[in-house]
Structure 1
Amino acid sequence: MTVKETGYILSPDPEDARLATRIAGVDHTGSPVELSVVTERPLTIYLNSQEIVTAMTIGDHPGLLAIGFLRNQGMLARDEPVEAVEYDDDLDVVVVRTSRKTDYEEKLRKKTRTSGCAVGTVFGDMMEGLDGIRLPEAELRTSWLYALAHQINRTPSLYLAAGAIHGTVLCEQDRPLVYMEDVGRHNAVDKVAGWMFVNNAAAADKILYTTGRLTSEMVLKTAHMGIPVLVSRSGFTAWGVELAQELGMTLIGRLRGRRFACVSGSERLVWDADVDTVSEESTRHRRKSSQPDG
């Protein structure tokens, strides 16, 4: 589909043969069945000459993933120019090059394995760089929430075609703009961060929507991106909620059909939607969303 047809600047391509494959099996009755399953491949990220991390990913947008990961780790400054992004498909390696000499050996010694379903990694102090972050007090209309959920849940995606994957969508008011998917929610967020970095996109008026749990990692990454509103169809962790409250972030989870829960920033909600006019989720989407949160 084109941008004009979907309204997205960038959205998933479930027809991309590199991202999913067909496998044979049997169903609960013993009958033959063919399934579509997402692919996984390693991607090693370098910053100049230093190897930073190897991530398991579906393989699309490797440059945006690398830039977003480095940005969210504090290894790229917000306004730092990137001279080149070099991707080798045969070696599954992407190199981000800057004019500034970089050495993060000390930072790489301290790493935290996050709760992501594909096991994310955060290097250094997870709270590093938050002192200067002051998120804007952005208004959020409930009509925007329902409109976003309605469109995103019906967008052709690997999530609907194969499951076992997470989506993250950059939105403005009631318009979804950039939709990224990956096996780990942290990768999907990093791709969005990479797109914002490359396109110098403003963050103060944006909403970040995700299909994954609202953990401390997700809240921290969203805060580092400067986005004041984080929304999920999934649930929360206690530390994620605490961080959102400290940062002044509006945090909304369990957005399914007409229901949601706001646990931070509820004073910024504008209740302009008539919930009686909001439809419940389709059975098809409920089947996909019954997978464990990751």
Structure 2
Amino acid sequence: MSTVIPATLRVAPDPTAPRLTRAVQGVDESGATIDLRVVEERPLTIYLNAREIVTAMTIGDHPEWLALGFLTNQGMLRASDRVSAVDYDAELDTVVVRTEIETDHEAKLARATRTSGCAVGTVFGDMMEGLAGLTLPATPLRVSDLRAMSVAINRTPSLYLEAGAIHGTCLCQGPDPLAYFEDVGRHNAVDKLAGWMRVTQTDPSDKTLYTTGRLTSEMVIKCALMGIPSLVSRSGFTAWGVEIAREVGLTVIGRLKGSRFVCLSGEERMVWDAP
């Protein structure tokens, strides 16, 4: 399969970056020696002002966007909070997000729970509270756009194609990919995207979030809180994720492979313009 970077893509994976993979030697099923590259993972500790929040295992690219997106998605940074600085220290593997006014996040830390997600995903109880009264825009989703975005993403040069063992998340507008992030955990990839959207002030109302990961409750909640009306995955669903999607009016598509897919929420917003 040929690879090409779509002209619309503003942020793309860099599978050639030497810091993201490591060369290792092994043997194949016949006992022959083989050389291949595997994905690196390293800890990144995120601070909000003087408070240590979390240490996440990540591939190490876009640490500032990851920190901003994580804090935003967890409700520790509101849209109205003014960020004065984001300081990344590569030697200490830390990011410090500083705000003009101290935030009140101690109560959130007390309610932190470990989820079933990979790469030490975390979720806070008040994320569900953020859904109260939330109604997403009823943006149509065209079947032809689904297929076009899937082809474009799958043909984009990526760490997945280079080394595997990684999740991808891509923000699309219609059939066009706009920003594509990867990480060892699907939550990290989504948080990088959220950070990029916050910095670039990207309007989410006409966008689609594509992910390679399964559509769990946390993925659905994050997408909804980001204001993105459509969520698409080549993987499957959880029952609670589907239930939440239906409550907030999120269009959810799963098991997208070739021309096949399953829609479990928002089918009334689908435009069936392809056979």
Is 1:96 equivalent to 2:97 in the alignment? yes
Contact 1:109-1:124 within 8 A present in 2 as well: no
Match of 2:9, SS state, is coil
Residues 17-61 of structure 1 deviation map (CA, whole Å, 9 limit, x = unaligned): 010111000011111011211000000000111110000000000
Question: Which residue of 2 is the match for residue 284 of structure 1?
Answer: none
Is 1:273 equivalent to 2:274 in the alignment? yes
Question: Which residue of 1 is the match for residue 62 of structure 2?
Answer: 61
Matching residue's letter, 1:163: G
Match of 2:54, SS state, is strand
Name the CA shift for 1:83/1:253 in 2 (closer, same or farther; >3 Å). same
Question: Which residue of 1 is the match for residue 264 of structure 2?
Answer: 263
Is 1:121 equivalent to 2:114 in the alignment? no
TM-score w.r.t. length of structure 2: 0.96
Aligned-pair CA distance for 1:4: 8.2
Question: Which residue of 2 is the match for residue 292 of structure 1?
Answer: none
Residues 129-182 of structure 1 deviation map (CA, whole Å, 9 limit, x = unaligned): 111421011100000000000000010000111110000001101110000000
Matching residue's letter, 2:23: R
Matching residue's letter, 2:215: L
Contact 1:203-1:227 within 8 A present in 2 as well: yes
Identity over the aligned pairs, expressed in percent? 65
Query: How far apart, CA to CA, are the structure 1 residues paired with 2:139 and 2:118?
Result: 30
Match of 1:69, SS state, is helix
Question: Which residue of 1 is the match for residue 17 of structure 2?
Answer: 16
Contact 2:6-2:156 within 8 A present in 1 as well: no
Residues 107-150 of structure 1 deviation map (CA, whole Å, 9 limit, x = unaligned): 11212222222130113334021114210111000000000000
Unmatched 5+ residue regions in structure 2? none
Is 1:151 equivalent to 2:191 in the alignment? no
Aligned-pair CA distance for 1:251: 0.2
Query: How far apart, CA to CA, are the structure 2 residues paired with 1:229 and 1:149?
Result: 14
Query: How far apart, CA to CA, are the structure 1 residues paired with 2:127 and 2:221?
Result: 8
Question: Which residue of 2 is the match for residue 26 of structure 1?
Answer: 27
Question: Which residue of 2 is the match for residue 289 of structure 1?
Answer: none
Report 1:234-253 matches (<5 A).
Answer: 234-253=235-254
Match of 1:127, SS state, is helix
Aligned-pair CA distance for 1:82: 1.0
Unmatched 5+ residue regions in structure 1? 275-294
> Structure 1 residues 170-179 or 124-133, which shifts more?
124-133
> Structure 1 residues 165-174 or 3-12, which shifts more?
3-12
Report 1:1-294 matches (<5 A).
Answer: 6-274=7-275
Structure 1 moving runs of 4+ over 2 Å: 3-7, 123-126
Contact 1:167-1:211 within 8 A present in 2 as well: yes
Match of 2:116, SS state, is coil
Matching residue's letter, 1:129: G
Match of 1:83, SS state, is strand
Query: How far apart, CA to CA, are the structure 2 residues paired with 1:146 and 1:34?
Result: 35
Matching residue's letter, 1:149: S
Match of 2:107, SS state, is helix
